[in-house]
Amino acid sequence: MAKITYREAVRAGLREALQRDSRVFLMGEDVGKYGGTYACSKGFLDEFGPERIRDTPLSESTFVGAGIGAALGGMRPIVEVMTVNFSLLALDQILNNAATLRHMSGGQFSVPLVVRMATGAGRQVAAQHSHSLEGWYAHIPGIRVLTPATVTDARGMLLTALQEPDPVFIFEHAYLYSMEGELEEGPPAVDISRAAVRRTGKDVSLITFGGSLWKTLAAATSLAQEGIEAEVMDLRVLRPLDINSVLTSVRKTHRAVVIDEAWRTGSFAAEISAQIMEGVFYDLDSPVARVCSEEVPIPYPKHLEDAALPQPDKIVQAVHTLLGR
């Protein structure tokens, strides 16, 4: 296994995609000459040229719409949106065009589009650049929503997504870009339909995705020192949701805590909680618990930002409450 950063894994996936298929091109704000806001396309303009690495105006609706048109025309565009907050400017194109055209055309058209965007907090860039809105996108039928949390997924999910006939949205937690991890051996493309158990346990299921995975694993390590064996489930794919893997875990542990960096009200954690209650209610020894962000715009000061977000100690506390400690 090779140790690389999450940023390097994303870059490797992008380079492989561009090398494999001449129909693939990258477009977005600052992806060319600047090398990408998060340096994921650094050097690509010189390597692949301006036809395949296209800088766009600061107009998310325009360039996401252009990506949809290119996909309808037979290309395989990868559209990079600088941050999830700004993706809301393209929501009309996403909801009313990308997600609906196959249905509205009776299957005559598909939109093989991949949209990548940074999500999440923890970097002191304040409220307009820090929210976790991937659960909003998981509400939309007609698209696939991925949340890679490991370097292997960051590299391989993109390659698999480009084989899909319908739009795929990849949410890369911005806090992870500098994280190092071991790149697993094997084929570069990875499954984009199943959740993954990142740590096995028998006492409680900790269910999460994206940037919260590593905080959850840290909490599981802390709990293990107390003799509590927590199973950590990385959802990886929010739509279509692999609820069967979640229910299998909860049937074994009889307790569940859902960790989600979004706000608690109307969160994806609420959807997971509801599906657990619907699917394995009689296997539960206690109600499903949730650890989410505080219901405020993400603050700028570090101590307030940290306080607003799910943290390992909050996850541990939630488990203690479930176990009556």
Residues annotated as part of the active site: 60, 129
3-state secondary structure of 78: strand
Q: What is the DSSP string of 34-62?
A: T--TTSTTTTHHHHH-TTTEEE--S-HHH
Token representation of residue 118: 């940074």
Task: Tally the C-alpha atoms within 13 A of residue 251's C-alpha that lie toward its C-beta.
Answer: 9
Task: Tally the C-alpha atoms within 13 A of residue 115's C-alpha that lie toward its C-beta.
Answer: 35
3-state secondary structure of 180: strand
Tell me how crowded residue 110 is: count the other CB atoms within 10 A of its CB. Answer: 15
What type of residue sits at position 71?
A
Alpha-carbon dihedral sign for residues 189, 211, 264, 296:
negative
Asked if residue 187 lies in contact with residue 96, where contact means CB atoms within 8 angstroms, the answer is no
* Ramachandran sector of residue 140 (left: φ over 0; alpha: ψ -120 to 50; beta: rest): beta
Token representation of residue 38: 């998060």
Strands (E), the chain: 2-5, 24-28, 53-55, 76-81, 114-119, 144-146, 168-173, 180-183, 196-199, 204-208, 230-234, 237-239, 256-263, 289-293
Chain-centre distance for alpha carbon 297: 20
Asked if residue 181 lies in contact with residue 151, where contact means CB atoms within 8 angstroms, the answer is yes
| Residue 173 phi, psi (nearest 5) | -70, 125
